[in-house]
Amino acid sequence: MLFHSTRGKDSHKSFKEIAIQGLASDGGLYVPDYWPEIDLDKVKNCKTYGEIAKLVLPAFADGSYEEAEITSMVDEIWQGFPSRELVQFRKFNNFAVAELFHGPTAAFKDFGLQMVSYFLHRILKESNKHGVILGATSGDTGSAAIHACKGYSNIKTFILLPEGNMSEIQRRQMSTVDQENVFAIKVNGTFDDCQDIVKEAFKTDQYLPNNFTLLAVNSINWLRIIAQICYYFFAYASLNTTKSLCFSVPSGNFGNVFSAYSAYKMGLPIKEICVAVNSNDILHRFFSNNDYSKQPTVSTISPSMDISVASNFERLVYDYYLDRDANRCRELFNAFNSNQLQLDPEIFENKLNLFSSLAVSDSETKNIINYFFKEHEYILDPHSAIACKRALEESNSYVIGMATAHPDKFPTLFNSLNIQITDHHPALKGLKDKEERLVVLPCEYSAIRDFIRNSL
Ligand SMILES: *Cc1c(COP(=O)(O)O)cnc(C)c1O
Protein backbone atom coordinates (compact mmCIF):
# COMPACT_ATOMS: atom_id res chain seq x y z
CA MET A 1 0.00 0.00 0.00
CA LEU A 2 1.25 3.44 -0.90
CA PHE A 3 -0.16 6.89 -0.17
CA HIS A 4 -0.42 10.13 -2.10
CA SER A 5 -1.50 13.69 -1.48
CA THR A 6 -4.96 15.14 -2.15
CA ARG A 7 -3.18 17.92 -4.08
CA GLY A 8 -1.38 15.56 -6.42
CA LYS A 9 2.23 16.69 -6.00
CA ASP A 10 3.43 14.15 -3.46
CA SER A 11 3.05 10.42 -3.98
CA HIS A 12 4.52 6.91 -3.54
CA LYS A 13 4.83 7.29 0.21
CA SER A 14 4.90 4.23 2.47
CA PHE A 15 3.06 3.70 5.75
CA LYS A 16 6.29 4.44 7.66
CA GLU A 17 6.91 7.64 5.73
CA ILE A 18 3.45 9.09 6.26
CA ALA A 19 3.54 8.14 9.95
CA ILE A 20 6.51 10.46 10.44
CA GLN A 21 5.59 13.15 7.96
CA GLY A 22 1.92 13.90 8.74
CA LEU A 23 1.14 16.68 6.29
CA ALA A 24 2.08 16.10 2.62
CA SER A 25 4.86 18.28 1.17
CA ASP A 26 2.45 20.05 -1.24
CA GLY A 27 0.20 21.14 1.63
CA GLY A 28 -2.37 18.39 0.96
CA LEU A 29 -3.33 15.38 3.04
CA TYR A 30 -2.26 11.79 2.49
CA VAL A 31 -4.83 9.24 1.35
CA PRO A 32 -4.29 5.57 0.44
CA ASP A 33 -3.79 4.85 -3.29
CA TYR A 34 -6.87 2.58 -3.16
CA TRP A 35 -9.45 1.47 -0.61
CA PRO A 36 -8.68 -2.01 0.70
CA GLU A 37 -11.73 -4.29 1.05
CA ILE A 38 -12.36 -5.85 4.43
CA ASP A 39 -14.11 -9.24 4.46
CA LEU A 40 -17.38 -8.70 6.35
CA ASP A 41 -17.73 -12.38 7.17
CA LYS A 42 -14.47 -12.19 9.06
CA VAL A 43 -15.58 -8.95 10.72
CA LYS A 44 -18.77 -10.61 11.97
CA ASN A 45 -16.72 -13.22 13.81
CA CYS A 46 -14.62 -10.68 15.67
CA LYS A 47 -15.25 -10.43 19.39
CA THR A 48 -12.93 -7.56 20.28
CA TYR A 49 -11.65 -4.27 18.90
CA GLY A 50 -8.19 -5.85 18.73
CA GLU A 51 -9.40 -8.64 16.44
CA ILE A 52 -10.83 -6.04 14.08
CA ALA A 53 -7.56 -4.10 14.17
CA LYS A 54 -5.79 -7.28 13.03
CA LEU A 55 -7.93 -7.21 9.87
CA VAL A 56 -7.64 -3.47 9.21
CA LEU A 57 -4.02 -2.54 10.04
CA PRO A 58 -2.26 -5.02 7.71
CA ALA A 59 -4.16 -3.58 4.73
CA PHE A 60 -2.57 -0.15 5.28
CA ALA A 61 0.83 -1.21 6.61
CA ASP A 62 1.42 -3.61 3.72
CA GLY A 63 4.84 -2.91 2.23
CA SER A 64 6.20 -1.52 5.52
CA TYR A 65 5.45 -4.49 7.77
CA GLU A 66 4.67 -8.18 7.19
CA GLU A 67 1.16 -9.20 8.17
CA ALA A 68 2.39 -11.44 11.01
CA GLU A 69 4.55 -8.64 12.33
CA ILE A 70 1.77 -6.08 12.38
CA THR A 71 -0.84 -8.38 13.91
CA SER A 72 1.54 -9.17 16.75
CA MET A 73 1.96 -5.42 17.36
CA VAL A 74 -1.78 -4.88 17.73
CA ASP A 75 -1.79 -6.27 21.26
CA GLU A 76 0.81 -3.69 22.29
CA ILE A 77 -0.55 -0.51 20.71
CA TRP A 78 -3.51 0.42 22.92
CA GLN A 79 -2.73 0.68 26.63
CA GLY A 80 -4.24 1.96 29.85
CA PHE A 81 -7.85 1.00 29.21
CA PRO A 82 -9.49 -0.36 32.36
CA SER A 83 -11.02 -3.40 30.70
CA ARG A 84 -9.80 -5.65 27.90
CA GLU A 85 -12.62 -4.34 25.75
CA LEU A 86 -11.60 -0.91 24.52
CA VAL A 87 -15.03 0.14 23.24
CA GLN A 88 -18.24 -0.50 25.10
CA PHE A 89 -21.77 -0.25 23.75
CA ARG A 90 -24.87 0.90 25.56
CA LYS A 91 -27.95 -0.46 23.84
CA PHE A 92 -31.31 1.26 24.05
CA ASN A 93 -34.56 0.36 22.27
CA ASN A 94 -33.72 1.29 18.71
CA PHE A 95 -30.33 2.93 19.02
CA ALA A 96 -26.99 2.49 20.73
CA VAL A 97 -24.19 4.60 22.12
CA ALA A 98 -20.61 3.58 21.31
CA GLU A 99 -18.48 4.58 24.30
CA LEU A 100 -15.06 5.55 22.98
CA PHE A 101 -13.92 7.27 26.18
CA HIS A 102 -12.55 4.46 28.33
CA GLY A 103 -8.92 5.19 27.51
CA PRO A 104 -6.44 6.93 29.83
CA THR A 105 -7.50 10.49 28.96
CA ALA A 106 -11.25 9.78 28.85
CA ALA A 107 -11.67 10.89 25.24
CA PHE A 108 -11.66 9.02 21.93
CA LYS A 109 -8.40 10.67 20.87
CA ASP A 110 -6.53 7.97 22.82
CA PHE A 111 -7.28 5.56 19.95
CA GLY A 112 -5.58 7.65 17.29
CA LEU A 113 -2.71 9.05 19.31
CA GLN A 114 -1.68 5.74 20.86
CA MET A 115 -1.51 4.35 17.34
CA VAL A 116 0.62 7.25 16.09
CA SER A 117 3.01 7.28 19.05
CA TYR A 118 3.52 3.51 18.95
CA PHE A 119 4.69 3.66 15.34
CA LEU A 120 6.70 6.87 15.76
CA HIS A 121 8.58 5.20 18.60
CA ARG A 122 9.27 2.07 16.53
CA ILE A 123 10.24 3.86 13.35
CA LEU A 124 12.58 6.28 15.16
CA LYS A 125 14.18 3.40 17.01
CA GLU A 126 14.87 1.49 13.79
CA SER A 127 16.91 4.45 12.54
CA ASN A 128 18.51 5.34 15.88
CA LYS A 129 16.73 8.67 16.03
CA HIS A 130 14.90 10.62 18.69
CA GLY A 131 11.65 12.50 18.30
CA VAL A 132 10.55 15.90 19.55
CA ILE A 133 6.79 16.33 19.50
CA LEU A 134 5.61 19.91 19.62
CA GLY A 135 1.94 20.87 19.65
CA ALA A 136 -0.55 23.37 20.96
CA THR A 137 -3.79 22.28 22.55
CA SER A 138 -7.03 23.82 23.70
CA GLY A 139 -8.37 20.54 25.01
CA ASP A 140 -8.08 16.83 24.43
CA THR A 141 -5.35 16.44 21.80
CA GLY A 142 -2.53 17.56 24.09
CA SER A 143 -3.37 15.21 26.91
CA ALA A 144 -3.92 12.27 24.56
CA ALA A 145 -0.49 12.99 23.04
CA ILE A 146 1.22 13.31 26.42
CA HIS A 147 -0.28 10.09 27.72
CA ALA A 148 0.36 8.21 24.49
CA CYS A 149 4.06 9.20 24.37
CA LYS A 150 5.06 9.22 28.01
CA GLY A 151 6.23 5.58 27.98
CA TYR A 152 8.46 5.99 24.93
CA SER A 153 11.84 7.25 26.06
CA ASN A 154 13.02 8.19 22.55
CA ILE A 155 10.23 10.76 22.23
CA LYS A 156 10.06 14.05 24.15
CA THR A 157 6.72 15.80 24.10
CA PHE A 158 6.20 19.56 24.49
CA ILE A 159 2.62 20.80 24.62
CA LEU A 160 1.74 24.50 24.75
CA LEU A 161 -1.32 25.38 26.82
CA PRO A 162 -2.99 28.71 26.01
CA GLU A 163 -5.04 30.79 28.39
CA GLY A 164 -8.74 30.38 28.00
CA ASN A 165 -11.47 27.83 27.71
CA MET A 166 -9.59 24.78 29.02
CA SER A 167 -11.12 23.14 32.09
CA GLU A 168 -9.11 22.51 35.25
CA ILE A 169 -9.41 18.76 34.68
CA GLN A 170 -8.11 19.04 31.15
CA ARG A 171 -5.13 21.07 32.41
CA ARG A 172 -4.43 18.65 35.25
CA GLN A 173 -4.53 15.70 32.87
CA MET A 174 -1.45 17.22 31.25
CA SER A 175 0.30 18.85 34.20
CA THR A 176 0.22 15.92 36.62
CA VAL A 177 2.01 13.38 34.43
CA ASP A 178 5.23 12.73 36.32
CA GLN A 179 7.58 11.71 33.51
CA GLU A 180 10.89 13.16 32.44
CA ASN A 181 10.03 13.19 28.74
CA VAL A 182 6.81 15.24 28.80
CA PHE A 183 6.44 18.98 29.30
CA ALA A 184 3.17 20.87 29.69
CA ILE A 185 4.05 24.49 29.00
CA LYS A 186 1.70 27.25 30.07
CA VAL A 187 2.05 30.46 28.06
CA ASN A 188 0.25 33.76 28.47
CA GLY A 189 -1.31 33.80 25.01
CA THR A 190 -4.29 32.55 23.05
CA PHE A 191 -4.56 29.26 21.21
CA ASP A 192 -3.80 31.09 17.96
CA ASP A 193 -0.60 32.59 19.50
CA CYS A 194 0.45 29.05 20.44
CA GLN A 195 -0.28 27.80 16.93
CA ASP A 196 1.90 30.58 15.52
CA ILE A 197 4.80 29.54 17.72
CA VAL A 198 4.39 25.93 16.61
CA LYS A 199 4.33 26.97 12.95
CA GLU A 200 7.47 29.05 13.43
CA ALA A 201 9.20 26.14 15.15
CA PHE A 202 8.38 23.84 12.22
CA LYS A 203 9.94 26.11 9.62
CA THR A 204 13.35 24.67 10.46
CA ASP A 205 14.66 22.03 12.82
CA GLN A 206 18.23 23.39 12.70
CA TYR A 207 18.02 24.21 16.40
CA LEU A 208 17.76 20.50 17.25
CA PRO A 209 20.75 18.15 17.56
CA ASN A 210 21.39 15.98 14.47
CA ASN A 211 19.74 12.80 15.60
CA PHE A 212 16.47 14.51 16.58
CA THR A 213 13.37 14.77 14.38
CA LEU A 214 10.63 17.31 14.91
CA LEU A 215 7.16 15.74 14.85
CA ALA A 216 3.65 17.19 14.86
CA VAL A 217 0.59 15.84 16.62
CA ASN A 218 -2.28 17.07 14.56
CA SER A 219 -5.51 15.53 13.49
CA ILE A 220 -4.47 14.89 9.90
CA ASN A 221 -2.03 12.02 10.52
CA TRP A 222 -3.42 9.05 8.58
CA LEU A 223 -2.56 6.61 11.37
CA ARG A 224 -5.17 8.25 13.56
CA ILE A 225 -7.77 7.55 10.90
CA ILE A 226 -6.79 3.86 10.76
CA ALA A 227 -7.28 3.40 14.51
CA GLN A 228 -10.70 5.03 14.28
CA ILE A 229 -11.83 2.98 11.26
CA CYS A 230 -11.55 -0.12 13.46
CA TYR A 231 -14.29 0.87 15.88
CA TYR A 232 -16.85 1.41 13.13
CA PHE A 233 -16.32 -2.18 11.97
CA PHE A 234 -16.37 -3.28 15.58
CA ALA A 235 -19.76 -1.60 16.12
CA TYR A 236 -21.11 -3.56 13.16
CA ALA A 237 -19.74 -6.84 14.59
CA SER A 238 -21.01 -6.14 18.10
CA LEU A 239 -24.44 -4.67 17.51
CA ASN A 240 -25.50 -7.28 15.00
CA THR A 241 -28.66 -5.56 13.79
CA THR A 242 -30.63 -6.33 10.64
CA LYS A 243 -31.53 -2.66 10.23
CA SER A 244 -29.42 -0.31 8.16
CA LEU A 245 -26.75 1.62 10.06
CA CYS A 246 -26.57 5.32 10.81
CA PHE A 247 -23.49 6.58 12.65
CA SER A 248 -23.84 9.98 14.27
CA VAL A 249 -20.48 11.60 14.99
CA PRO A 250 -19.66 14.70 17.10
CA SER A 251 -17.37 16.59 14.77
CA GLY A 252 -14.62 19.18 14.86
CA ASN A 253 -11.67 18.58 12.58
CA PHE A 254 -13.61 15.86 10.74
CA GLY A 255 -11.14 13.04 11.49
CA ASN A 256 -13.70 10.83 13.18
CA VAL A 257 -16.29 11.32 10.43
CA PHE A 258 -13.69 10.64 7.78
CA SER A 259 -12.89 7.38 9.56
CA ALA A 260 -16.56 6.36 9.29
CA TYR A 261 -16.49 7.27 5.61
CA SER A 262 -13.29 5.21 5.16
CA ALA A 263 -14.96 2.18 6.74
CA TYR A 264 -17.83 2.68 4.29
CA LYS A 265 -15.38 2.72 1.38
CA MET A 266 -13.80 -0.47 2.72
CA GLY A 267 -17.10 -2.33 2.59
CA LEU A 268 -18.96 -1.51 5.80
CA PRO A 269 -22.67 -1.18 4.92
CA ILE A 270 -23.43 2.29 6.27
CA LYS A 271 -26.60 4.02 5.15
CA GLU A 272 -26.09 7.40 6.77
CA ILE A 273 -23.28 9.32 8.44
CA CYS A 274 -24.60 12.21 10.50
CA VAL A 275 -22.11 15.05 11.00
CA ALA A 276 -23.09 16.60 14.34
CA VAL A 277 -21.60 19.94 15.37
CA ASN A 278 -22.07 22.74 17.92
CA SER A 279 -22.54 26.45 17.06
CA ASN A 280 -19.25 26.31 15.16
CA ASP A 281 -21.24 25.05 12.25
CA ILE A 282 -19.09 25.28 9.11
CA LEU A 283 -19.64 21.57 8.43
CA HIS A 284 -23.39 21.81 8.91
CA ARG A 285 -23.54 24.79 6.56
CA PHE A 286 -21.65 22.76 4.00
CA PHE A 287 -23.70 19.57 4.20
CA SER A 288 -27.03 21.39 4.27
CA ASN A 289 -26.25 24.22 1.89
CA ASN A 290 -22.92 23.73 0.03
CA ASP A 291 -21.47 26.65 2.01
CA TYR A 292 -18.02 25.92 3.46
CA SER A 293 -16.99 29.35 4.66
CA LYS A 294 -14.86 30.29 7.62
CA GLN A 295 -16.36 32.22 10.53
CA PRO A 296 -14.83 33.20 13.87
CA THR A 297 -14.73 30.46 16.50
CA VAL A 298 -17.13 30.77 19.42
CA SER A 299 -16.61 29.12 22.82
CA THR A 300 -19.13 26.44 23.68
CA ILE A 301 -19.71 23.80 26.36
CA SER A 302 -18.31 21.23 23.87
CA PRO A 303 -14.87 22.84 23.55
CA SER A 304 -13.20 20.03 21.60
CA MET A 305 -15.44 20.87 18.66
CA ASP A 306 -14.77 24.61 18.68
CA ILE A 307 -13.11 25.01 15.28
CA SER A 308 -13.49 27.43 12.39
CA VAL A 309 -12.28 25.07 9.64
CA ALA A 310 -12.17 21.26 9.64
CA SER A 311 -8.69 20.09 8.73
CA ASN A 312 -9.64 16.61 7.47
CA PHE A 313 -12.47 17.86 5.26
CA GLU A 314 -10.16 18.12 2.25
CA ARG A 315 -9.92 14.33 2.19
CA LEU A 316 -13.67 14.02 1.67
CA VAL A 317 -13.76 16.69 -1.01
CA TYR A 318 -10.98 14.88 -2.85
CA ASP A 319 -12.26 11.32 -2.58
CA TYR A 320 -16.04 11.65 -2.46
CA TYR A 321 -17.00 14.85 -4.28
CA LEU A 322 -14.16 15.18 -6.79
CA ASP A 323 -13.64 11.46 -7.49
CA ARG A 324 -9.94 11.93 -6.76
CA ASP A 325 -9.31 14.77 -9.17
CA ALA A 326 -6.17 16.15 -7.49
CA ASN A 327 -5.81 19.14 -9.81
CA ARG A 328 -9.31 20.33 -9.02
CA CYS A 329 -8.77 19.70 -5.32
CA ARG A 330 -5.57 21.74 -5.35
CA GLU A 331 -7.34 24.60 -7.12
CA LEU A 332 -10.24 24.56 -4.67
CA PHE A 333 -8.09 24.53 -1.56
CA ASN A 334 -5.58 27.04 -2.86
CA ALA A 335 -8.49 29.36 -3.60
CA PHE A 336 -10.12 28.54 -0.28
CA ASN A 337 -7.11 29.84 1.58
CA SER A 338 -9.20 29.50 4.72
CA ASN A 339 -12.12 31.61 3.53
CA GLN A 340 -14.80 30.09 1.37
CA LEU A 341 -15.34 26.99 -0.71
CA GLN A 342 -18.34 25.99 -2.76
CA LEU A 343 -18.64 22.89 -4.91
CA ASP A 344 -20.13 22.80 -8.37
CA PRO A 345 -23.87 22.59 -7.46
CA GLU A 346 -24.37 19.58 -9.73
CA ILE A 347 -21.62 17.64 -7.96
CA PHE A 348 -23.06 18.61 -4.59
CA GLU A 349 -26.63 17.57 -5.55
CA ASN A 350 -25.44 14.21 -6.86
CA LYS A 351 -23.91 13.31 -3.52
CA LEU A 352 -26.72 14.01 -1.13
CA ASN A 353 -27.52 10.52 0.10
CA LEU A 354 -24.72 9.42 2.43
CA PHE A 355 -24.20 12.41 4.75
CA SER A 356 -26.66 14.28 6.93
CA SER A 357 -25.80 16.99 9.45
CA LEU A 358 -27.11 18.83 12.47
CA ALA A 359 -25.94 21.81 14.55
CA VAL A 360 -26.82 22.06 18.23
CA SER A 361 -26.64 25.14 20.46
CA ASP A 362 -25.42 25.02 24.07
CA SER A 363 -28.92 25.28 25.51
CA GLU A 364 -30.19 22.49 23.30
CA THR A 365 -27.17 20.37 24.25
CA LYS A 366 -28.16 20.76 27.90
CA ASN A 367 -31.72 19.74 27.05
CA ILE A 368 -30.48 16.58 25.35
CA ILE A 369 -28.29 15.72 28.35
CA ASN A 370 -31.26 16.24 30.68
CA TYR A 371 -33.54 14.19 28.45
CA PHE A 372 -31.19 11.17 28.35
CA PHE A 373 -30.66 11.39 32.08
CA LYS A 374 -34.38 11.49 32.92
CA GLU A 375 -35.54 9.09 30.23
CA HIS A 376 -32.69 6.55 30.21
CA GLU A 377 -30.71 7.28 33.39
CA TYR A 378 -27.72 7.70 31.13
CA ILE A 379 -25.28 10.60 31.30
CA LEU A 380 -23.87 11.91 28.03
CA ASP A 381 -21.00 14.37 27.96
CA PRO A 382 -21.79 17.53 25.93
CA HIS A 383 -19.92 16.35 22.80
CA SER A 384 -21.65 12.98 22.74
CA ALA A 385 -25.04 14.57 23.48
CA ILE A 386 -24.81 16.57 20.27
CA ALA A 387 -24.34 13.38 18.26
CA CYS A 388 -27.09 11.57 20.12
CA LYS A 389 -29.63 14.13 19.02
CA ARG A 390 -29.86 12.04 15.85
CA ALA A 391 -31.15 9.11 17.92
CA LEU A 392 -34.13 11.22 19.00
CA GLU A 393 -35.19 12.00 15.44
CA GLU A 394 -37.23 9.95 12.99
CA SER A 395 -35.22 7.16 11.35
CA ASN A 396 -35.66 3.75 9.76
CA SER A 397 -32.05 3.01 10.55
CA TYR A 398 -30.35 1.85 13.70
CA VAL A 399 -28.62 4.97 15.01
CA ILE A 400 -25.28 4.64 16.76
CA GLY A 401 -24.18 7.77 18.60
CA MET A 402 -20.41 8.00 18.97
CA ALA A 403 -19.61 9.06 22.56
CA THR A 404 -16.24 10.79 22.39
CA ALA A 405 -15.67 11.97 25.98
CA HIS A 406 -16.54 10.85 29.49
CA PRO A 407 -18.88 13.19 31.44
CA ASP A 408 -16.39 13.26 34.33
CA LYS A 409 -14.31 15.73 32.33
CA PHE A 410 -16.99 18.41 32.79
CA PRO A 411 -17.81 18.60 36.51
CA THR A 412 -18.83 22.27 36.45
CA LEU A 413 -21.43 21.66 33.76
CA PHE A 414 -22.95 18.66 35.52
CA ASN A 415 -23.03 20.54 38.83
CA SER A 416 -24.97 23.31 37.18
CA LEU A 417 -27.39 20.75 35.70
CA ASN A 418 -27.80 19.09 39.10
CA ILE A 419 -26.74 15.76 37.69
CA GLN A 420 -24.62 13.54 39.93
CA ILE A 421 -22.12 11.43 38.06
CA THR A 422 -21.90 8.05 39.79
CA ASP A 423 -19.91 6.04 37.23
CA HIS A 424 -16.52 7.72 37.52
CA HIS A 425 -13.71 7.32 35.06
CA PRO A 426 -10.87 5.52 36.88
CA ALA A 427 -8.12 7.58 35.20
CA LEU A 428 -9.59 10.86 36.44
CA LYS A 429 -9.83 9.83 40.08
CA GLY A 430 -7.46 11.66 42.39
CA LEU A 431 -6.39 14.13 39.70
CA LYS A 432 -7.21 17.02 42.05
CA ASP A 433 -4.73 15.82 44.68
CA LYS A 434 -1.80 15.24 42.38
CA GLU A 435 1.01 17.73 42.16
CA GLU A 436 1.10 19.85 39.04
CA ARG A 437 4.27 20.11 36.96
CA LEU A 438 3.67 23.09 34.70
CA VAL A 439 6.43 24.99 32.98
CA VAL A 440 5.55 28.67 32.63
CA LEU A 441 7.18 30.51 29.73
CA PRO A 442 6.68 33.76 27.83
CA CYS A 443 4.52 33.48 24.74
CA GLU A 444 7.50 33.84 22.38
CA TYR A 445 9.01 31.52 19.84
CA SER A 446 12.58 32.05 21.06
CA ALA A 447 11.68 31.18 24.65
CA ILE A 448 9.96 27.95 23.60
CA ARG A 449 12.78 26.99 21.21
CA ASP A 450 15.46 27.55 23.85
CA PHE A 451 13.52 25.61 26.43
CA ILE A 452 13.19 22.65 24.05
CA ARG A 453 16.87 22.78 23.15
CA ASN A 454 17.90 22.83 26.80
CA SER A 455 15.60 19.94 27.72
CA LEU A 456 17.00 17.38 25.25
C1 LIG B 1 -11.50 15.99 19.15
C2 LIG B 1 -12.86 15.72 19.67
C3 LIG B 1 -14.00 15.74 18.82
C4 LIG B 1 -13.90 16.08 17.36
O5 LIG B 1 -13.32 15.04 16.62
P6 LIG B 1 -12.77 15.30 15.14
O7 LIG B 1 -12.19 14.01 14.73
O8 LIG B 1 -11.77 16.41 15.24
O9 LIG B 1 -13.95 15.70 14.32
C10 LIG B 1 -15.23 15.43 19.37
N11 LIG B 1 -15.37 15.14 20.68
C12 LIG B 1 -14.31 15.13 21.53
C13 LIG B 1 -14.54 14.83 22.96
C14 LIG B 1 -13.02 15.41 21.05
O15 LIG B 1 -11.97 15.38 21.91
The protein residue with its alpha carbon nearest to ligand 1, atom 8, reads: 253
Three-state secondary structure call for residue 401: strand
C-alpha to C-alpha distance for 280 and 252, rounded to whole angstroms = 9
Neighbours of 68 (CB within 10 A): 9
Q: In sequence order, which residues have a C-beta less than 8 Å from that of residue 366 and are 6 or more positions away? A: 301, 382, 417
Residues paired with residue 341 on neighbouring β-strands, in sequence order: 292
pLDDT-based confidence at 174, cuts 50/70/90?
very high
The protein residue with its alpha carbon nearest to ligand 1, atom 1, reads: 304
The string of pLDDT tens digits covering residues 356-402 is 999 999 999 999 999 999 999 999 999 999 999 999 998 899 999 99
Instruction: Tell me whether residue 129 is one of the annotated catalytic residues.
Output: no
> Domain extents for the chain?
85-106+222-416
pLDDT-based confidence at 338, cuts 50/70/90?
low
Q: Which one has a higher pLDDT value, 69 or 205?
A: 69
The string of pLDDT tens digits covering residues 356-369 is 999 999 999 999 99
C-alpha distances (whole Å) from 335 to each of 130, 199, 311, 342, 432 are: 37, 21, 15, 10, 47
C-alpha distances (whole Å) from 439 to each of 39, 161, 175, 343, 451 are: 49, 10, 9, 45, 10
Dist. CA 304 → ligand 1 center (Å): 6
Lowest mean pLDDT among 46-60, 206-220, 305-319: 206-220
Three-state secondary structure call for residue 452: helix
CATH of the structural domain 85-106+222-416, one choice from 3.40.50.1100, 3.30.420.40, 3.40.50.720, 3.40.30.10 = 3.40.50.1100
Best of 305, 308, 357 for a ligand 1 pocket test (most atoms within 8 Å of beta carbon): 305
Q: Which of 215, 206, 163 is nearest to 185 (CA)?
A: 163
- Find out whether the beta carbon of 170 lies less than 6 Å from any atom of ligand 1: no
The string of pLDDT tens digits covering residues 94-147 is 899 999 999 999 999 999 999 999 999 999 999 999 999 999 987 789 999 999
Q: What is the residue-wise DSSP string for 61-107?
A: HTTTS-HHHHHHHHHHHS---SSS-S-EEEE-SSEEEEE---STTSB
Dist. CA 125 → ligand 1 center (Å): 30
